Amino acid sequence: MGKTLTEKIITDHLLVGDFKKGQEIGIRIDQTLTQDATGTMAYLQFEAIGLPRVKTELSVSYIDHNTLQTGFENADDHAFLQSIAAKYGLYFSRPGNGICHQVHLERFGQPGKTLLGSDSHTPTGGGLGMLAIGAGGLDVAVAMAGGPFYLTTPEVIGVQLTGKLNPFVSSKDIILKVLEILGVKGGVGKVIEYYGEGIKSLTVPERATITNMGAELGATTSIFPSDEVTRTFLKAQNRADVFKELLADTDCKYDQHIEINLNDLEPLTAAPHSPDNIKTIASLEGMKVNQVAIGSCTNSSYIDLVKVAKILKGKTVHPDVSLVISPGSKQVFKMLANDGYLVDLISSGARILESACGPCIGMGQSPSTNAVSLRTFNRNFFGRSGTKDASIYLVSPETAAASALTGVITNPTKLEMDITTLMPDHFLIDDNMIIPPILNGDKIKVIRGPNIKALPVNSPLENQLKGEVLIKVEDNITTDHIMPAGAKILPLRSNIPEIAKYVFTSVDKDFSQRALDKKGGFIVAGHNYGQGSSREHAALAPMYLGVKAVITKSFARIHKANLINFGLLPLTFKNEVDYDKIEQGDVLILKDLILSLKTDSKIKLINETKNQEYELLSEMSNRAKDIVLAGGLLNYTKEI
């Protein structure tokens, strides 16, 4: 039987284990990326490992999240990251050069390579035929040190695309359709692999939109073949030399199969407050719109923004709408200016933001009270925009531009114009904002501002844990709920004692102080706990507050890995009905943990308050259990 594309790349990089579904494996990582919101902690962790230089083929440190400098903290972090890159042999992408995923696609991504990034949207690289995976910063630090990246051998979902998109229907509508089919939990433990005649009409940036937003499925990653479309893109980026054809075998078998006829698709949207709350644009036409935001790592390519410019050309944004546009990279920005499209955007009344993540992470441009905001972004979690009562709809650039002109949600297929945009034969290449590695960084002094604090380290797991339920939360709690983003909190990413004060503030403003007063305790949650970003602060800050275990119905992949990496015990209910029997404030006891974990024995949870007993599961590999027992990955690494 033939191999899927996923299996081919994994087996080519396999260092530990065998490609058997459900078993833990370790793979070699060729490239890494970090961004400044996660990078400071990742490099503090790399320093703790104690190596003089990164061991990957290529590692890049990007500045794209914390670019709003309202105090010294972000600028200090940037200086720290630049000095770290110089000392340890990384490329450094300066502020203003662009969003990490867009720039990496343009200038560094290579078909068939593995990429590990401390950002959940690292799978963007799958649009180039990479096996690109998002992870916590500590996993990235270990990969930079030459260690394997461990994951469960994934199932592979084959998504066959047939037909061709109609005018004003976009690749964003494809991934929204996949989200409608699978939901935000449907990709957990799986890779989404696209194939079929329909992919031939999708450019690499369009494919990257799909793989980028595959993160919202909970998937390990998403991937397209590397074919002539890939060759064309790389040639236009003056990187044809890295092209490599990579296709799944025609006789391969997928664990699950989905077929989507592109001819049948229509413009879609993800309605508040989840990326899988899919509605048709036609069903919402006429709804008043207050804000439109175009950009993010999902939809900020040259092709995306040229289509927007063509729709806006010669027209004016509706007086009740604020339109903001963020080009994805300096390359995109320069080409829009060079080709005259930037004038069309500015003339329409659009406000042009810098090439950075910006509004997508709540870094500015928060909507007004009770606003309806259409965004070409990838997430619309409650409160993520910075305005709790705003309604965020995720849409395509075409829908966003059409609606910005009318002031209401508008179906772009009704526009009578041609916005066909071809892939450029040549992109403007200018890497002057990328600082390459230097050969010898031994004498480089790392710059550390006063906001950069020492990395907290956990202690080995105790045999018995006793404490209160500090908080009980429902299904689909995101990392934005646990550790909010935004202009106020993001600058504290390198200062765990300070950022820990904001854990769960959007859910329960008293959580942090309660955890300190109670000297730690437990978190109880529903399904898919920790979905969303890779931010390891959602595990690290609760660890700092004394949380020892998180008990749920199920976990999101990256967050569970982060909990393990920092020595927090992730447990699930054997019987989900037991979740309903526990309340916040109940005193819980876990006994004989060390023996239970080492022998795979049943784990008993005693509810002392209610005089009840429940059975829990520790669904971890033996290696993961050893990491938790050691008090986290850093302790475990030092032990071995």
Q: Is 251 assigned a catalytic role?
A: no
Is position 231 annotated as part of the catalytic site? no
Is residue 384 flagged as an active site residue?
no
Q: Is 533 a catalytic residue?
A: yes
Classify 548 as helix, strand or coil: strand
Give the Cα separation of 488 and 504 in Å (integer): 15
Note whether 613 and 607 are within 8 A (CB). Answer: yes
Catalytic pick from 274, 296, 533, 554? 533
Q: Is the peptide bond prior to 537 cis by the omega test (within 30 degrees of 0)?
A: no
Tokens 């008990």 found at: 551
- State how far the Cα of 200 lies from the Cα of 177, in Å rounded to an integer: 19
- Angle (deg, nearest 10), helices 622-630 and 557-565: 50
The amino acid sitting at 474 is E
List the catalytic residue out of 379, 481, 514, 537: 379
Active-site choice (13, 30, 59, 65): 65
Nearest-angstrom CA–CA distance, 287 and 26: 49
State which H helix or E strand residue 296 sits in. Answer: none
Integer-rounded Cα radius of gyration of the chain: 24
Tokens representing 99 are 């969003």
- Catalytic annotation on 403? no
Please identify which of the residues 535, 537, 557, 559 carries the catalytic annotation. 535
Distances 451 to 35, 86, 494 between C-alpha atoms, Å: 17, 21, 7
Q: Give the per-residue SS3 of 354-395.
A: CCCCHHHHCCCCCCCCCCEEEECCCCCCCCCCCCCCCEEEEC
Q: In the block, which residue shows the tokens 């390198």? A: 494
Q: List the catalytic residue out of 36, 119, 173, 304.
A: 119
**Secondary structure (3-state) at 58:** strand
Distance CA 343, CA 567 (A): 53
Strand 24-27 vs strand 190-195: parallel, antiparallel, or unpaired?
unpaired
Question: In the block, which residue shows the tokens 């569970």?
Answer: 560
Residue 272 backbone phi and psi in degrees, to 5: -60, 145
- Residue 559 annotated among the catalytic residues of the structure: no
Phi, psi of 73 (to 5 degrees): -60, -50
CA-to-CA separations, 372 to 21, 369, 383, 412, in angstroms, rounded: 43, 9, 13, 18
Catalytic machinery residues:
64-65, 119, 379, 533, 535
